Amino acid sequence: MIKKMFSAGTLAIMLGVSAQAAGPKVTVNLNPAEKPEVISKEIYGQFAEHLGTCIYGGLWVGKDSPIANTDGYRNDVLEALRELKVPVLRWPGGCFADEYHWLDGIGPKENRPRMVNNNWGGTVEDNSFGTHEFFNLCELLGAEPYLSGNVGSGSVEELAKWVEYITAEDGPMAQLRKENGREKPWHLKYLGVGNESWGCGGNFTPEYYANVYRRYQTYCRNFNGNKLFKIASGASDYDYNWTEVMMKNAKRFMNGLSLHYYTVVGWSGSKTSATQFSDEDYYWTLGKCLEIGDVVRRHCDIMDRYDKEKKVALLVDEWGTWWDEEPGTIKGHLYQQNTMRDAMVAALSLNTFHKFTDRVKMTNIAQIANVLQSMVLTKGDKMVLTPTYYVFKMYVLHQDANLIPLTLNTPVRKVRQGREVPTISATASEKNGVVTISLTNIDLTEPCEIEIPLDRLGLTGKPAVTGEILTSAKIGDYNDFGDPDKVGVKVFDKAKIEKNVLRLTMPAKSIVSLAIK
């Protein structure tokens, strides 16, 4: 491993740093803007698909379950998610969305037809969680619903009527909704027109999909003052041509274009274990994760050429780690464990999204429960919070806060496949007079001394700092049903402010969030 200095911004100072016991010294310079960009709270969005036990067992157990619930939603999961202030929830897929027929998921449960979930293990879906159950969940969580509409195997009429059913006050669809127990329309802002239309959503070419998108969205109407934010299915990873064609052919019909990027070893063969990995694998993972910054940049550059005013948002509506399923779990259910490595991926990804607040207005980590890089894992009546959950909790103060741009000097590590990973990453924001600074030290063995001059913040009075830290003895540590509290957030009281400079030593493999006021 070679270490060299890396400048994250033009103001960075190149310091001679060597691998000493005390670790490197890094200065973080905060540069508040006169007109700050707001970190859209929807960057902290979630995604729930009919996949494995995400919905059934994870969020929903039904009213008659012995597991403590409110109208069928698990109480423990509801309580945990409320702490995250989930701003938006995407549903029902994913690949499931393009095989989902919403009319099968309304009305008396016993009359709802069953279907085979072809994408995810051939599980039989009984449609007991449908439109009403989803919208009511969003109300319970205070989250904005994000509906993913069926384009691949559904009709224009079907999608148009779904919007009418949900949002109209009068008319045949509103009447049907009322007969099913919901008098008032729901609010629906985010409407996705298809998912992964280049793949499981229909295997379209971008040219063909652009036309299909234009047609479908035409008939999705704004009823009774409800205003849809229409989202076209976007590219996967490095497919820049998809973004180019969509922007060229359909820009004026969309409010947002999506992008999917997973931290995954590869799409064929083993995706490797979530819990058994070498140090080298760990550092590689962070390199792959951080590449999302280059990918987003390149998609944004294309969008900039067609949309200088940034009217169309980029929504990274699926991201996160994708490992092999846990041994002994059902193939196709994507149930994976979640270690401190995943927490690092979450923190670095969120830090990266903050850098694109002018274009990236929403992201949705995949997925909220029991699938891929989830917030919670459940087994029967038990629930554990994952290390990733704790990162989202530590970052809550960044939601809808004013971004404070920063520069820092940090060593970087070269990792497999020629990628480079900065040892220290940071992000900062301000809201209601509270400045929040979140930092990661990815090094597995070395602590790092950090200093942050506060003079540019214009704080009045004597500023005080409080902090939280997420770390663990081993990077592969995780929470499981037999050991639910192995990884958790602790108070961090080692940050001190002297003469308007904030100083702290970040332990190896740690994530720290500080609030200053």
Catalytically annotated residues: 196, 318
The yes or no reply on residue 318 touching ligand AHR (CB under 6 A) is yes
At CB < 8 A and 24+ separation, what contacts does 491-497 make? 491/466, 491/467, 492/467, 492/468, 493/466, 493/467, 494/467, 495/465, 495/467, 496/465, 497/454, 497/463, 497/464, 497/465
- DSSP for residue 224: T
CB of 366 to ligand AHR, least distance (A): 4
Stretch that binds ligand AHR, among 90-98, 136-144, 436-444, 502-510 (CB under 6 A): 90-98
Minimum distance, C-beta of residue 372 to ligand AHR, in the bound complex (Å): 6
Sign of CA dihedral 365, 368, 371, 376: positive
- Quote the least distance from Cβ 150 to ligand AHR, whole Å: 13
Closer to ligand AHR by Cβ: residue 80 or 334: 334
Which residue in the set 93, 206, 422, 476 belongs to the binding site for ligand AHR (CB under 6 A)? 93
- C-alpha separations of 138 from 47, 149, 212, 234, 388 in Å: 12, 17, 29, 25, 21
Residue positions counted in the chain: 517
Is residue 95 within the footprint of ligand AHR (CB under 6 A)?
A: yes
- Rounded to the nearest 10 degrees, how much is the dihedral formed by the CA atoms of 397, 400, 402, 407? 60
Nearer to ligand AHR, 47 or 186 (CB): 47
Work out which of 94, 185, 234, 467 binds ligand AHR, going by CB under 6 A: 94
Angle between helices 240-250 and 206-218 (to 10 degrees): 40
Mask for 448-477, x = binds ligand AHR (CB under 6 A)? ------------------------------
Q: Which residue has the CB atom at the shortest distance from ligand AHR?
A: 94
Which H or E run includes 210?
A: helix 206-218
**Minimum CB separation from ligand AHR for residue 42, in Å?**
18
Q: Is 355 helix (H, G, I), strand (E, B) or coil?
A: coil
Element (H, E) at 174: helix 172-179
Region from 32-40, 278-286, 341-349, 366-374 binding ligand AHR, contact rule CB under 6 A: 366-374
- Phi then psi for residue 114, to 5 deg, are -95, 160
Figure out which of the listed residues 98, 196, 307, 477 binds ligand AHR, where binding follows CB under 6 A.
196
Q: Is 307 in the site for ligand AHR (CB under 6 A)?
A: no
How distant, in Å, are the alpha carbons of 215, 432, 444 from that of 401?
A: 37, 8, 31
Q: How far is the CB of 496 from ligand AHR (least distance, A)?
A: 43
- In angstroms, the CA 337 to CA 276 distance is 10
Give the Cα separation of 39 and 83 in Å (integer). Answer: 19
Site membership for ligand AHR, residue 58 (CB under 6 A): no
Written as six digits, the tokens of 254 are 């969309």
Element (H, E) at 441: strand 434-441
Question: Of residues 49, 98, 125, 144, which one binds ligand AHR by CB under 6 A?
Answer: 49
Q: Which stretch binds ligand AHR (CB under 6 A): 91-99, 162-170, 379-387, 442-450?
A: 91-99
Minimum CB–partner distance for residue 202 and ligand AHR (Å): 12
Return the exposure string of 310-339: e unless at least 16 CB atoms fall within 10 Å of the residue's CB, then b: eebbbbbbbbbbbbbbbeeeeebbbbbbbb
Cβ proximity to ligand AHR, 159 vs 442, nearer residue = 159
| Closer residue to ligand AHR, CB minimum distance, 366 or 489 | 366
- Of 90 and 361, which CB lies nearer to ligand AHR in the complex structure? 90
Instruction: Burial-class residue 78 by CB neighbours within 10 Å (0-12, 13-18, 19+).
Output: middle
Tell me the per-residue interface mask from 166 to 195 with ligand AHR, x by CB under 6 A, - otherwise: -----------------------------x
Tell me the closest approach of the beta carbon of residue 127 to ligand AHR, in angstroms: 18
Please report, as ranges, the residues that interact with ligand AHR according to CB under 6 A.
Answer: 49, 93-95, 195-196, 318, 366-367, 372
